Amino acid sequence: MPSIIVLDDLSPEGLALLDAAEGVSYEVRTGLKGDALKSALNEFDGAICRSGVKLTPDVLEGNTRLRAVVRAGVGTDNIDKTAATRAGIVVMNTPAGNTISTAEHAIALMFALSRNIPAANQSLVEGRWDRKKFMGAQLAGKTLGIVGLGRIGLAVASRARAMEMDLIGYDPFMSADMAKSLGIELVEKVEDMLPRVDYLTVHTPLTDETRGLISDAALEKIKPGCRLINCARGGIFDEAALKKGLESGKLGGVALDVYPDEPCTDSPLFGMPNVVCTPHLGASTEEAQTQVAVEAVELLTAYLKTGA
């Protein structure tokens, strides 16, 4: 009977599906690393993870048993795909289950930045009634730049359109006609949108092209007062450049859900004025976690039973 190891926390609905699955057994073993992880992986035919566990070449090399790993979520950047392929391990993900939750988080961060919600809350609970200090900005009528028009980028676009924002987008795989039909003006490069956007949100993977997409050079071209949001992957914004941009007043604000190294408890931006940060919560809703867990269990059990 094929057996499955669950390497990160999985929603109760995913575990219930594993309990009910016929012809497979499973164990939950979270928090593993190093030799303990390597030897555990050799005891199972399939694995389910989120982003907590790191499946590095060291732990995958020499594995003779594991046939598949499913990431309950989008990004598979915590799994070394080259090492997995070398060991004959198939890597799968569940890309659609957390789209809406993550898009909603990006919009929530945009509102939080615009209306100073975290700072105003903090000031009030500390005993101050400071209405002047927290003058905000309205989103309607503002221009939002969206880099990456895939599942989450487009979900953000439709929500921002409902909020009466004007949309400019960049994605090398989107046609101008398709973008136009979605109410988005497509530009040929990110630089073209920088002088025009009041808000910029990124929804791409972290790649050689997107690493440091917002850097010192980009900040020279960006519209003064622009607010930036990253709910995609740490490293797409250069944090040192953001810090300078905030200190000089060129940037109106920065909201981050993701960091170059996670877990992250000491970003240079933490505690700065006009900065709102969350600890990688984009997909942390009951709905998203249920959906990705159920999809991950269905994918893995089907693969282990049928090879497809």
Q: What residues are annotated to the active site?
A: 233, 262, 280
Give one DSSP letter per residue of 283-305, joined into a string. Answer: T-SHHHHHHHHHHHHHHHHHHHH
Beta bridge partners of 79: 55
Task: Please pick, from the candidates 21, 32, 38, 51, the single residue that binds ligand MLT as defined by CB under 6 A.
Answer: 51
Determine which residue in the list 231, 251, 269, 304 makes contact with ligand NAD, applying CB under 6 A: 231
Terminal Cα distance for the chain, rounded: 17
Binding of ligand NAD by 283 (CB under 6 A): yes
- Per CB under 6 A, contacts with ligand MLT among 249-288 are 282-283
Residue 295 sits in the site that holds ligand NAD (CB under 6 A): no
Q: Which of 52, 150, 183, 260 binds ligand NAD (CB under 6 A)?
A: 150
Provide the minimum distance between the beta carbon of 79 and ligand MLT in the complex, in angstroms, as a whole number: 11
Q: Is residue 230 close enough to count as binding ligand MLT by CB under 6 A?
A: no
CB of 122 to ligand NAD, least distance (A): 23
Task: Show contacts with ligand NAD in window 35-74 (CB under 6 A).
Answer: 74
DSSP 189-240: SHHHHGGG-SEEEE-S---TTTTTSBSHHHHHHSPTTEEEEE-S-TTSB-HH
Binding-site size for ligand MLT (CB under 6 A) equals 8
240-269 binders of ligand NAD (CB under 6 A): 257-258
> By CB under 6 A, is residue 50 in contact with ligand MLT?
yes
98 with 151: CB under 8 angstroms?
no
Nearest residue (beta carbon) to ligand NAD: 150
Under the binding rule (CB under 6 A), the answer on residue 99 touching ligand MLT is no
Query: Which runs of E-coded beta strand occur in 37-187?
Result: 46-49, 68-71, 90-93, 143-147, 166-170, 184-186
Residue 145's SS3 state is strand
Query: In the complex, what is the shortest distance from the CB of residue 232 to ligand MLT, in angstroms, rounded to a whole number?
Result: 8
Work out which of 74, 251, 296, 300 binds ligand MLT, going by CB under 6 A. Answer: 74
Task: Specify which residues 251 forms β-bridges with.
Answer: 226
Residue type, 270: F
Kindly tell me which of 152 and 165 has the beta carbon lying closer to ligand MLT: 152
Buried b / exposed e over 261-290, threshold 16 CB at 10 Å, is eeebeebebeeeebbbbbebebbebeebbb
Q: Which residues in this chain contact ligand MLT in the complex, by CB under 6 A? A: 50-51, 73-75, 98, 282-283
